[in-house]
Each structure stands twice: as C-alpha cells, then as structure tokens.
C-alpha cells in the first residue's frame, strides 16, 4: 500500500521518516563501517567483539552494547568514526521517488521529522540536493542522541518537551529496528518496501 493510500485511512499529523533505504539508499560500503566499529570496540572489550562475531549480531547491536557499557567516551569515538566514514566513503545515492514526491507535495499539510542513524552533514547535503531540507521541522541525526534504534533516544530529540498525542504520529521506515523503535514509542509504523536495486 502506498503511503498516501495508508494515510487516507489513518490520519496522522506528524510523520517521522527514517532516511537511508527510506528516502534514499546511500551508496556506502558497510563492510568498511562494520570493520571500523569492530576495531573501535576491540580497544574496549574483546569479549564483546567475540560475542558479536559468534552470535552474528548486527553492527547496531555492537554499537548499542558498547555505548551502554562504556558510555560517552565510546560513543564519541564512534560518532567521530561515523562522520569520517560517511564523508570519505559516500559515492552517491538512489532516490525513492514515491517518498520524495510525497514529502514535496505535502510539506505544507503535515509536520515532518527525520530520525536517522546517519550524521547531519550527510543528511543535510542529500536533503538540500533533493530540495526538501526545509520540509523538515527537526532532524534527529546520529550526533544528537546516544542509543540507536530500536531504542527511543532519537524520538526524544524530536519531541524534547512533550510529544503530541501519539495516535497522531507515524513512523515511516524500512527496517525491523525502525518498527521496534516505533512500537517502543507507542506510535504507528508504516513499512517502506521500495526496491532500490531495480
């Protein structure tokens, strides 16, 4: 079901969008990223790296476990690495025309936000190129919160004081982490299923 069709049946005033593989697909070599976070964690906790490899945890799991255990110092090193990784390795992006057109055509009717695991320079450059940067009320980029989805830290960056009634909010994303984050926040979720590989 297209997002517009979904919203005809489910009225939502506030829309929170994931970014990568929702609005665009970033052309990044994620093997380089995973190697980098393993290298960082190896300085802190080899047992956790071993757990990550043996149990086939996702990179995001290693990130969140490390932040929970080692706090700000680890988080800061991770953010610095992520900024450098995206700056040096991003080679392009593939657009999701349905979502981009929806944002362009409805920015005056709804309040839009982004909650992303990407850094602000990457988000800003892409959204400016797409001519939709001004459509977003607030952007919860990776530098602004501690734990990544499925934890709810990014949600509280968007709604710093009090959130509107939760039935008015929709999370739009592509991944299980997006969906679990929406569930944890008590808001509805719309799954993007655009085939970026076509």
Domain-wise residue ranges, the chain: 3-26+93-191, 30-89
What crossing angle do the helices spanning 30-42 and 46-54 adopt, rounded to 10°? 140
pLDDT digits (tens, 9 = 90+) for 2-37: 898 898 888 899 999 999 999 999 999 999 999 999
What is the C-alpha separation between 105 and 95, in angstroms, rounded? 16
Partners of 26 in beta bridges = 93
Per-residue model confidence (pLDDT) at position 198:
47
- Under a CB-based contact definition with an 8 Å cutoff, are residues 171 and 185 in contact? yes
3-state secondary structure labels for all residues of 57-114:
CCHHHHHHHHHHHHHHHHHHHHHHHHHHHHHHHCCCEEECHHHHHHHHHHCCCCEEEE
CATH for the stretch 3-26+93-191: 3.40.50.1000
Would you list the DSSP string of 123-187? HHHHHHHTT-GGGEEEEE-GGG-SSPTTSSHHHHHHSSS----GGGEEEEESSHHHHHHHHHHT-
Asked which of 35-39, 51-55, 91-95, 173-177 is least confident by mean pLDDT, the reply is 51-55
Instruction: Kindly indicate the confidence band of residue 178, based on its pLDDT and cuts at 50, 70 and 90.
Output: very high
Tokens for 153, please give them: 């830290």
Q: Is it the case that residue 1 has pLDDT exceeding 80?
A: no
């Amino acid at each position: 079901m297209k997002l517009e069709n979904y919203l005809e049946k489910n009225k939502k005033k506030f829309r929170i969008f994931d970014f990568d593989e929702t609005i665009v697909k970033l052309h990044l070599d994620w093997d380089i990223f995973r190697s980098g976070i393993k290298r960082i964690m190896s300085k802190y906790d080899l047992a956790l790296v071993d757990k990550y490899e043996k149990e086939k945890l996702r990179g995001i799991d290693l990130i969140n476990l490390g932040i929970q255990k080692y706090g700000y110092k680890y988080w800061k090193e991770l953010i610095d690495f992520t900024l450098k990784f995206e700056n040096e390795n991003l080679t392009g992006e593939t657009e999701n025309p349905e979502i981009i057109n929806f944002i362009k055509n409805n920015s005056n009717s709804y309040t839009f936000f982004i909650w992303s695991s990407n850094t602000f320079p990457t988000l800003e450059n892409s959204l400016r190129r797409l001519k939709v940067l001004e459509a977003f009320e607030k952007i919860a980029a990776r530098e602004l919160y501690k734990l990544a989805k499925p934890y709810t830290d990014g949600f509280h960056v968007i709604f710093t004081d009090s959130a509107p009634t939760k039935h008015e909010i929709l999370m739009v994303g592509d991944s299980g982490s997006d969906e679990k984050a929406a569930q944890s926040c008590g808001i509805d979720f719309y799954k993007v299923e655009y085939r970026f590989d076509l």
